Copies of this chain bind each other. A is one copy, B any other.
Amino acid sequence: MSGSKKKGEPRANQYAYPGLDRVIHERARLSVLTSLTRYPKGLRFNDLKALCGLTDGNLSRHMQVLQEAGLVEVAKSFDQNRPQTTCHLTADGHKRYMEYLAVLEQVVRDAAAAVKEGRSATAGAKS
Contact = CB atoms under 8 A, between A and B. Distances in A.
A120 B113 CA distance: 33
Interface residues of A, number: 49
Interface in A98-117: 98, 101, 104-105, 107-108, 110-115, 117
A101 B112 contact: yes
Given A98-B115, A108-B108, A118-B37, A31 B43 contact: no
The complex is assembled from copies of this chain, and their number is 2
Of listed A15, A30, A108, A114, residue having the most chain B CB within 10 A: A15
Interface of A: 1, 10-18, 20, 22, 25, 27, 30-32, 34-35, 37-41, 43, 47, 50-54, 98, 101, 104-105, 107-108, 110-115, 117-119, 121-122, 125
